Protein backbone atom coordinates (compact mmCIF):
# COMPACT_ATOMS: atom_id res chain seq x y z
CA UNK A 1 0.00 0.00 0.00
CA UNK A 2 1.38 3.38 -1.00
CA UNK A 3 -0.23 6.52 0.41
CA UNK A 4 0.51 10.03 -0.72
CA UNK A 5 0.27 12.72 1.95
CA UNK A 6 0.03 16.16 0.45
CA UNK A 7 -1.33 19.62 1.15
CA UNK A 8 -0.36 23.24 1.31
CA UNK A 9 2.46 24.72 3.40
CA UNK A 10 2.05 24.30 7.17
CA UNK A 11 -1.14 22.30 6.78
CA UNK A 12 0.11 19.33 8.78
CA UNK A 13 1.63 16.87 6.30
CA UNK A 14 4.55 16.16 8.61
CA UNK A 15 2.24 15.54 11.58
CA UNK A 16 0.21 13.02 9.57
CA UNK A 17 3.40 11.38 8.29
CA UNK A 18 4.79 11.09 11.84
CA UNK A 19 1.56 9.44 12.99
CA UNK A 20 1.84 6.95 10.14
CA UNK A 21 5.55 6.35 10.87
CA UNK A 22 4.64 5.64 14.50
CA UNK A 23 2.25 3.00 13.14
CA UNK A 24 5.05 1.31 11.17
CA UNK A 25 4.74 2.98 7.77
CA UNK A 26 7.94 3.82 5.86
CA UNK A 27 7.93 7.56 5.14
CA UNK A 28 9.55 9.06 2.05
CA UNK A 29 10.07 12.77 2.74
CA UNK A 30 10.02 14.60 -0.60
CA UNK A 31 11.15 17.85 1.08
CA UNK A 32 14.38 16.14 2.13
CA UNK A 33 14.77 14.71 -1.36
CA UNK A 34 14.18 18.22 -2.70
CA UNK A 35 16.98 19.55 -0.50
CA UNK A 36 19.18 16.75 -1.79
CA UNK A 37 18.22 17.74 -5.34
CA UNK A 38 19.36 21.31 -4.66
CA UNK A 39 22.81 19.97 -3.79
CA UNK A 40 23.00 17.47 -6.64
CA UNK A 41 21.60 19.92 -9.21
CA UNK A 42 23.33 23.03 -7.79
CA UNK A 43 25.29 23.70 -10.99
CA UNK A 44 22.12 23.68 -13.12
CA UNK A 45 20.35 25.90 -10.60
CA UNK A 46 23.24 28.36 -10.53
CA UNK A 47 23.20 28.59 -14.33
CA UNK A 48 19.40 29.00 -14.44
CA UNK A 49 19.35 31.69 -11.72
CA UNK A 50 22.68 33.39 -12.42
CA UNK A 51 21.11 36.84 -12.54
CA UNK A 52 19.36 36.44 -9.16
CA UNK A 53 20.76 37.00 -5.68
CA UNK A 54 20.69 33.38 -4.49
CA UNK A 55 24.21 33.00 -3.12
CA UNK A 56 25.61 33.05 0.40
CA UNK A 57 28.78 34.91 1.39
CA UNK A 58 30.94 31.92 0.45
CA UNK A 59 29.43 31.79 -3.06
CA UNK A 60 27.29 28.72 -2.38
CA UNK A 61 23.58 28.36 -2.95
CA UNK A 62 21.51 30.04 -0.22
CA UNK A 63 18.21 28.12 0.01
CA UNK A 64 16.37 30.95 1.78
CA UNK A 65 17.35 33.46 -0.91
CA UNK A 66 16.41 30.96 -3.61
CA UNK A 67 13.04 30.48 -1.89
CA UNK A 68 12.39 34.23 -1.86
CA UNK A 69 13.18 34.41 -5.59
CA UNK A 70 11.08 31.44 -6.73
CA UNK A 71 8.05 32.12 -4.54
CA UNK A 72 7.93 35.65 -5.97
CA UNK A 73 7.89 34.57 -9.61
CA UNK A 74 5.90 31.62 -10.99
CA UNK A 75 8.17 31.23 -14.03
CA UNK A 76 11.20 30.93 -11.77
CA UNK A 77 9.39 28.44 -9.55
CA UNK A 78 8.53 26.41 -12.65
CA UNK A 79 12.19 26.54 -13.72
CA UNK A 80 13.37 25.26 -10.34
CA UNK A 81 10.72 22.52 -10.39
CA UNK A 82 11.82 21.42 -13.87
CA UNK A 83 15.36 21.03 -12.54
CA UNK A 84 14.61 19.38 -9.20
CA UNK A 85 11.42 17.34 -9.68
CA UNK A 86 12.86 14.65 -11.99
CA UNK A 87 15.51 13.88 -9.36
CA UNK A 88 12.90 13.70 -6.58
CA UNK A 89 10.57 11.47 -8.61
CA UNK A 90 13.46 9.15 -9.54
CA UNK A 91 14.45 8.78 -5.88
CA UNK A 92 10.84 8.13 -4.84
CA UNK A 93 10.50 5.40 -7.47
CA UNK A 94 13.80 3.92 -6.32
CA UNK A 95 12.56 3.65 -2.71
CA UNK A 96 9.20 2.26 -3.87
CA UNK A 97 11.01 -0.45 -5.87
CA UNK A 98 13.32 -1.31 -2.96
CA UNK A 99 10.39 -1.63 -0.54
CA UNK A 100 7.70 -3.08 -2.82
CA UNK A 101 4.82 -4.59 -0.87
CA UNK A 102 5.48 -2.55 2.27
CA UNK A 103 3.28 0.19 3.72
CA UNK A 104 4.81 3.38 2.35
CA UNK A 105 3.93 7.05 2.74
CA UNK A 106 5.11 9.71 0.31
CA UNK A 107 5.08 13.05 2.16
CA UNK A 108 5.13 15.68 -0.58
CA UNK A 109 3.42 19.06 -0.79
CA UNK A 110 3.54 18.99 -4.57
CA UNK A 111 2.67 15.32 -5.02
CA UNK A 112 -0.53 16.23 -6.87
CA UNK A 113 1.53 18.00 -9.53
CA UNK A 114 4.34 15.44 -9.73
CA UNK A 115 2.85 12.24 -11.07
CA UNK A 116 4.36 9.37 -9.11
CA UNK A 117 3.30 5.94 -10.31
CA UNK A 118 2.00 3.40 -7.82
CA UNK A 119 0.15 5.64 -5.36
CA UNK A 120 -2.95 3.83 -4.09
CA UNK A 121 -4.62 6.75 -2.28
CA UNK A 122 -3.98 10.39 -1.40
CA UNK A 123 -4.51 12.01 1.97
CA UNK A 124 -4.85 15.75 1.48
CA UNK A 125 -4.11 17.57 4.74
CA UNK A 126 -5.80 20.92 5.09
CA UNK A 127 -5.90 23.61 7.75
CA UNK A 128 -7.44 27.04 7.99
CA UNK A 129 -5.40 29.81 6.39
CA UNK A 130 -4.94 31.64 9.70
CA UNK A 131 -3.68 28.41 11.32
CA UNK A 132 -1.20 27.80 8.49
CA UNK A 133 0.07 31.37 8.66
CA UNK A 134 0.51 31.15 12.43
CA UNK A 135 2.51 27.93 12.08
CA UNK A 136 4.74 29.45 9.41
CA UNK A 137 5.34 32.67 11.35
CA UNK A 138 5.75 31.25 14.86
CA UNK A 139 6.94 27.67 14.49
CA UNK A 140 9.00 28.08 11.31
CA UNK A 141 10.10 31.66 12.05
CA UNK A 142 9.34 32.84 8.51
CA UNK A 143 8.76 36.45 7.56
CA UNK A 144 5.24 37.59 6.75
CA UNK A 145 6.30 38.41 3.19
CA UNK A 146 7.74 34.94 2.65
CA UNK A 147 4.62 33.28 4.10
CA UNK A 148 2.30 35.29 1.86
CA UNK A 149 4.40 34.54 -1.25
CA UNK A 150 4.51 30.81 -0.48
CA UNK A 151 0.77 30.62 0.22
CA UNK A 152 0.05 32.55 -2.97
CA UNK A 153 2.31 30.21 -4.98
CA UNK A 154 0.33 27.20 -3.70
CA UNK A 155 -3.14 28.68 -4.09
CA UNK A 156 -4.03 26.41 -7.03
CA UNK A 157 -2.79 23.19 -5.41
CA UNK A 158 -5.78 20.87 -5.66
CA UNK A 159 -5.17 17.14 -6.01
CA UNK A 160 -8.42 16.42 -7.84
CA UNK A 161 -7.11 18.44 -10.79
CA UNK A 162 -4.12 16.13 -11.22
CA UNK A 163 -5.18 12.70 -9.91
CA UNK A 164 -8.28 11.36 -11.63
CA UNK A 165 -8.03 7.63 -10.83
CA UNK A 166 -6.85 7.72 -7.22
CA UNK A 167 -9.10 8.04 -4.18
CA UNK A 168 -8.49 11.31 -2.35
CA UNK A 169 -9.24 11.62 1.37
CA UNK A 170 -9.35 15.02 3.05
CA UNK A 171 -8.24 15.49 6.63
CA UNK A 172 -8.55 18.68 8.67
CA UNK A 173 -5.71 19.72 10.94
CA UNK A 174 -7.15 22.62 12.90
CA UNK A 175 -7.41 21.06 16.36
CA UNK A 176 -5.21 18.85 18.54
CA UNK A 177 -2.85 16.05 17.53
CA UNK A 178 -5.28 13.60 19.14
CA UNK A 179 -8.07 14.89 16.87
CA UNK A 180 -5.79 14.57 13.86
CA UNK A 181 -4.91 10.98 14.85
CA UNK A 182 -8.61 10.14 15.23
CA UNK A 183 -9.42 11.55 11.78
CA UNK A 184 -6.46 9.71 10.27
CA UNK A 185 -7.61 6.39 11.75
CA UNK A 186 -11.07 6.90 10.24
CA UNK A 187 -9.48 7.48 6.83
CA UNK A 188 -7.20 4.44 7.18
CA UNK A 189 -10.23 2.30 8.04
CA UNK A 190 -12.00 3.56 4.90
CA UNK A 191 -8.95 2.79 2.76
CA UNK A 192 -8.61 -0.70 4.29
CA UNK A 193 -12.30 -1.36 3.57
CA UNK A 194 -11.92 -0.73 -0.17
Binding residues: 10-15
Distance CA(42)–CA(57), nearest Å, equals: 16
| Contacts of residue 124, Cβ cutoff 8 Å, sequence gap at least 6 | 6, 7, 112, 159, 168, 169, 170, 171
59 Rama sector, left if φ>0, alpha if ψ -120 to 50, beta otherwise: left
Distance CA(124)–CA(105), nearest Å, equals: 12
Which residues are part of a known binding site for ATP?
10-15
Amino acid sequence: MVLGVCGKACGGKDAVSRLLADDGWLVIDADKLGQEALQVKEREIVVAFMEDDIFDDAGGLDRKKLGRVVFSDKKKLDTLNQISHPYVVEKIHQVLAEHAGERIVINAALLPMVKVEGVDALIYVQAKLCQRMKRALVRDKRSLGFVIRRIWAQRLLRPQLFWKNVDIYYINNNESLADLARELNIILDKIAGK
